[in-house]
Amino acid sequence: MAKTEASQTFGASVKKGDKLFRSRVESYGSLLDTWRSHLSVIARGGGQKRQDREHERGKMLVRERIARLVDNPSDFLELGAFAGLGMYEDEGGCPAGGTVMGLGHVHGRLCMIVANDATVKAGAWFPITAKKNLRAQEIVLDNHIPVIYLVDSAGIFLPQQDNVFPDKDHFGRIFRNNAVLSSKGIPQIYAIMGSCVAGGAYLPIMSDEALIVEGTGSLFLAGPFLVKAAIGESVDVETLGGAETHSQISGVTDYQMPDDETCIDMIRNLVSRLGRRPSAGFDRIESADSAFPADEIYGIVPESGSQSYDMKDLLARIIDRDTWTEYKEGYGKTILTGYARIDGWSVGIVANQRLIVRAKAGVASHVDEMQAGGVIYSDSANKATRFIMNCNQKRIPLVFFQDVTGFMVGSRAEQGGIIKDGAKMVSVVANSVVPKFTVVVGNSYGAGNYAMCGRAYDPRLMLAWPSARIAVMGGSQAARTLLQIEKSRMKRDGRELTSEEESELLTRIQARYDEQTTPYYAAARLWVDEIIDPVETRRWLSIGIEMANHNPEIPVFNPGIIQT
């Protein structure tokens, strides 16, 4: 088929006027309403009263600071917005983990920006706050982009100190990462715009340059009350650790700023002077629009995770038009593999195919006559393994689109070596050296999550759509499994359930399990970096590859580690 003819058919099967399309658009609209509602609440931070108090003190709010810092506020990509959602309710909640972070351009330079929200428990650190900050540093380390931190925090939230302070991936790991970032020459700029106390006082001083705001910024290992209790000295905040003390006496900070606005303007000035560095050299040409409007995605994604659809229809609304080159098109059809471009960037795509496909009779004994969509078979795993190896050899970033129910099970699959083939795919994903990006479109179940580059396999960004589901298995199967376990336990105790009690228990178990599979449950715990509107997928991936391109350190891929 000629390229022009192929481009006309790729993704063109969608019928916008039919009943199914309209029904799916309506269903996805409901998902987006829930998503927007959560974001609206999160953006209020600690509430209007606390926001007003910050303004009365002459301070900007956290998102106001970021808006002034970046070149274009609408281009700021917030990460971890849902961190802490539904957690710490006994402590009054912790919207966005008390910290706003994300990617934004400052004088044209892509930076990681992290800023405490002083309206949330005075910016105190909860366990999820530490995890979120560590994730920010991980992204910076992986991609070698500058980091800007706007500090305004009262330190560790003491009722949760045992979950924040002592372990390997707790608060102390952040200091360690500061030192590692410095050793790699990755720029770190910290602005003390509020409280910065106790161990947290080391954070800005382990950076390259530190700014402090007069009147509101303070920096000390122990505040006035603790100093009084420890050594009997009476001292006020400004004398102990204010802007004049640290800029004119101790010399701890580098720039003394009169207010928030001037401080942020100085940060922009400093970033504008950063020297250019070598890049990874990922291929990029002039961008082309996708072949179809992105908002048509809403009418393609099914209302139920068990319904089928053509993944090619989604891809055609994300990738640049006329850039799809499919790899092994006729083989292993429950995974799509192919080369494409996203906003001009060259990428390799690995995507689960949810269409039910018929295998050709006699092609291979381990291939079922009909392959269920979203399931990884041996042939699909083998195809994906070889394609991922090729992308590593060619230094092409990988993008995974997950809608997977797991690997095929049963005697035929086991005899065909599904465990061996699945292990090879997991191994090649784990050992990939090119940047990986993951988008969870629908289901992300079981070992399919691993093979398709789940969180444990170090994607540079892991994004989820509001339709995503992440769990060890589907809700219905899991609920029935858990029900059988509960019935067996009760039987050992000499009790039998009536049919009504069994039905009620099943409903209760499934409701609890379903809640734990939502993208919000995952995002609250930072199993994914962000839940995004599907129409923004292309922009997120483009910025992600731009980010990854900052790090020129890509090891040589060794295909010998994969037993083929």
Which letter does DSSP use for residue 346 in this model? E
Check if the beta carbon of residue 318 is closer than 8 Å to that of residue 364: no
Q: What integer pLDDT is reported at residue 6 of this predicted model?
A: 47
Contact 447, 427 (CB under 8 A): no
pLDDT of residue 358: 63
User: Are 98 and 88 within 8 A, CB to CB?
Assistant: no
pTM assigned to the model: 0.92
**CA–CA separation, 184 vs 176, rounded Å?**
13
In terms of DSSP bridges, do strands 469-471 and 436-445 run parallel, antiparallel, or are they unpaired? parallel
- What per-residue confidence (pLDDT) applies to 168? 80
Dig out the tokens for 144 from the structure: 């070698």
In this prediction, residue 281 carries a pLDDT of: 96
Q: pLDDT 10s per residue in the chain (564 long)? A: 444 444 457 888 888 889 999 999 999 999 999 999 999 999 999 999 999 999 999 999 999 999 999 999 999 999 999 999 999 988 889 999 999 999 999 999 999 999 999 999 988 889 999 999 999 999 999 999 999 999 999 877 767 777 777 888 887 898 899 999 999 999 999 999 999 887 677 788 889 999 999 999 999 888 888 888 889 888 888 988 899 999 999 999 999 999 999 999 999 999 999 999 999 999 999 999 999 999 999 999 998 777 889 999 999 999 999 999 999 999 999 999 999 999 999 999 999 998 876 655 544 444 444 566 689 999 999 999 999 999 999 999 999 999 998 888 788 888 788 889 899 999 999 999 999 999 999 999 988 999 999 999 999 999 999 999 998 766 666 667 767 777 677 777 777 777 777 677 777 777 777 778 899 999 999 999 999 999 999 999 999 999 999 999 998 888 765 655
Sign of CA dihedral 154, 158, 159, 165: positive
Q: Give pLDDT, residue 14.
A: 87
- pLDDT on residue 370: 54
Beta 398-404 vs 461-464: how paired, if at all?
A: unpaired
Give me 145's structure tokens.
């982009």
Question: Any residues with CB less than 8 A from the CB of 159 and at least 6 apart, and which?
Answer: 91
- Nearest in space to 347 (alpha carbons), one of 315, 314, 385: 315
DSSP 278-324: ------B------SS-GGGGGGTS-SSTTS---HHHHHTTTSPTT--
* The predicted structure's pLDDT at residue 3: 47
> What is d(CA 451, CA 426) in angstroms, rounded to the nearest whole number?
5
The bridge status of strand 218-220 relative to strand 345-352 is unpaired
Q: Where are the beta strands (DSSP E) in 51-206?
A: 77-79, 99-106, 109-116, 147-153, 188-197
> Six-digit token pair at 510?
């499934």
The pair of structure tokens assigned to 26 is 């309506």
DSSP-derived secondary structure letter, 248: I
